């Protein structure tokens, strides 16, 4: 259980920094956003601000962006997470997906608008595509984690 968080964050960082072909770049989900939603929902006692700060600075240094851009982007995303954190898993899956999609869009716009060298409309289409891909992955993550929770609670009740 103690290795679960570091393994998930390492997997998310590898999937985020993985060099992917240009053909699927617009369909590649934002794994860091998914990691933080997983952390907020399925590890409710975790101090998110410390994770935002650490991973944000790590992403800034690994992606050679301005120091603090990812931290601020993650903190903006945190506003949406904190607003829905206590009741997020009670929402219907489509509403959860929309919140994850919006958060991903906010994060991507904030962290990449300065370093983007494409026309604005093309950038916004890219943001929309990546956000939708991120939102479409969330139901699978939510289902697999809820299944584990239900199986553990079922075993404990017997």
Whether the per-residue pLDDT at 76 is higher than 70: the answer is yes
Using a pLDDT cut of 90, give the percent of the chain over it.
28
Residue pair 4/42 in contact by the 8 Å Cβ criterion: no
Q: Where are the domains of the chain?
A: 4-18+27-144
Cα–Cα distances in angstroms (integers) from residue 117 to residues 70, 81, 121, in the given order: 18, 30, 12
Asked if the model's pLDDT at residue 75 lies above 70, the reply is yes
pLDDT tens readout for residues 16-30: 888 888 888 888 999
Answer yes or no: pTM beyond 0.75: yes
What is the length of the chain? 158
What's the pLDDT score for residue 155?
59
> For 103-119, what is the mean pLDDT?
86
What CA dihedral angle connects 138, 9, 69 and 62, to 10 degrees? -130
At 149 the pLDDT is 58
CA distance 97 to 135: 5
């Amino acid at each position: 259980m103690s290795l679960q968080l570091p393994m998930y964050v390492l997997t998310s960082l590898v999937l985020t920094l993985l060099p992917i072909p240009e053909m699927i770049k617009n369909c590649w989900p934002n794994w860091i956003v998914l990691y933080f939603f997983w952390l907020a929902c399925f590890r409710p006692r975790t101090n998110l601000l410390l994770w935002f700060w650490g991973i944000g600075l790590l992403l800034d240094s690994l992606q050679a962006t301005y120091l603090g851009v990812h931290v601020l982007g993650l903190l903006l995303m945190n506003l949406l997470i904190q607003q829905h954190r206590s009741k997020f898993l009670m929402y219907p899956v489509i509403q959860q997906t929309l919140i994850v999609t919006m958060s991903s869009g906010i994060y991507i716009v904030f962290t990449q608008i300065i370093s983007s060298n494409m026309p604005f409309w093309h950038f916004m289409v890219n943001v929309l595509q990546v956000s939708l891909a991120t939102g479409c992955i969330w139901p699978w993550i939510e289902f697999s984690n809820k299944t584990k929770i239900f199986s553990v609670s079922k075993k404990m009740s017997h």
